[in-house]
Amino acid sequence: MDHYINDVIVRGAAEALADGSAATEAHHLLLAIAAHEGTAAHRVLSAAGLGGQEIGQALDREFEHSLNAVGVSRTAYHLPEPSREGKNPPKLGASARLAIERGFAAATGKKDLRPAHLLLGILDTEIGTVPRALALAGIDRAELMAQTREALEHERW
């Protein structure tokens, strides 16, 4: 499991670098989980129609929706490409740290920790980018959490 968490954090940091973020946040970890095949977490996301591309599209819609909420139209302005400069990977941001903590808390102990616990940690929040993006994509977050819990009951990894 330690290798899996490290891989998700490394992949999440790569996602953060790709979009020019200063920190790796929960939505970057979600993209990393979607890219990591062979786990119950990946299967739950795939069954809900949430591959990496679909999650990326949902995050784009969330970004545009957030801009519109403050009166900014993405099409009215030429936004610069994200800066991908920087030699060090982005550090974990607050939402990513909380998601990991919630994932650990969802397991009965470190030995029982599995990838789906990390997915639960990401999904188990009422506010933030992930729940807004999922809502805009028409995904029932509570149902996705229930499917993740069911996968935890029936699958080892």
What is the chain's mean pLDDT, rounded?
90
What is the rounded distance in angstroms from the CA atom of residue 99 to the CA atom of residue 111?
18
Residue 123 is encoded by which pair of tokens? 């999904």
How far is C-alpha 84 from the chain's CA centre? 20
Q: Give 2-12 pLDDT, tens digit per residue.
A: 788 889 999 99
Predicted confidence at residue 111, as pLDDT, reads 75
What is the rounded distance in angstroms from the CA atom of residue 85 to the CA atom of residue 2?
28
Q: Give 98-118 pLDDT, tens digit per residue.
A: 999 999 999 887 778 889 999
Question: Is 56 a residue whose pLDDT tops 90?
Answer: yes
Contact 119, 139 (CB under 8 A): no
Contact 38, 21 (CB under 8 A): no
Question: Is 1 a residue whose pLDDT tops 70?
Answer: no
What is the rounded distance in angstroms from the CA atom of residue 149 to the CA atom of residue 129?
22
Mean pLDDT is highest, among 2-16, 68-82, 122-136, for 122-136
Question: Is 27 a residue whose pLDDT tops 70?
Answer: yes
